Amino acid sequence: MGLLMKTCIHCQQSKPLEAFRKSARMIGGRENGCKDCHNARRRARYQTDPSATLATNRKWFQANREKLNAYHREWRSRLDVNRRTAKRRTEIEGLADSYVKQLLAGGVLSHSDIPQPLVEAQRELLKIKRYIREHSI
């Protein structure tokens, strides 16, 4: 419970400040109606006149299109990074050819120059090293 209380102009209940939506245009930085009342009124408005709500929403999307697109681009790029990280982790844990070849190449050889039997041998060596590490031998 917040220390600061405010009385809702709709339900007349005294509620903590957090129960009121933030608003830059209101004195005190909060709406006069509580969130519960705001939501109930928005729901009722939509029930009686959906086109008004839809028009408001459409106007907001048009006004904030670029901001929203930028947010979605940022979100997608973070998702891509997370996917690449997860894929790499899977390759390392599963000792995939790409990972084993990278260790063998050491930044000098091309991955296609590494013979497959060498990759297999390196993979077995890595398994042994992991076993020793995990069993503290």
Task: Decide: is 10 part of the binding site for Zn ion (CB under 5 A).
Answer: yes
Task: Decide: is 44 part of the binding site for Zn ion (CB under 5 A).
Answer: no
Task: Decide: is 100 part of the binding site for Zn ion (CB under 5 A).
Answer: no
Q: Which is nearer to Zn ion, 37 or 100 (CB)?
A: 37
Q: Hey, is 26 helix, strand or coil?
A: coil
CB of 38 to Zn ion, least distance (A): 8
CB of 79 to Zn ion, least distance (A): 38
Backbone angles phi, psi at 127, to 5 degrees: -60, -40
CB of 20 to Zn ion, least distance (A): 9
Cα angle 79-82-84, degrees, rounded to a multiple of 5: 110
Which window, 37-45, 47-55, 62-70, 119-127, contacts Zn ion (CB under 5 A)?
37-45
Q: What is the 3-state secondary structure (H, E, C) of 83-103?
A: HHHHHHHHHHHCCCHHHHHHH
Task: Decide: is 19 part of the binding site for Zn ion (CB under 5 A).
Answer: no
Q: Residue 43: CB partners within 8 Å, gap ≥ 6?
A: none
Task: Decide: is 11 part of the binding site for Zn ion (CB under 5 A).
Answer: yes
Judge whether 33 and 9 are in contact, CB under 8 Å: yes
Residues in touch with Zn ion (CB under 5 A): 8, 10-11, 34, 37
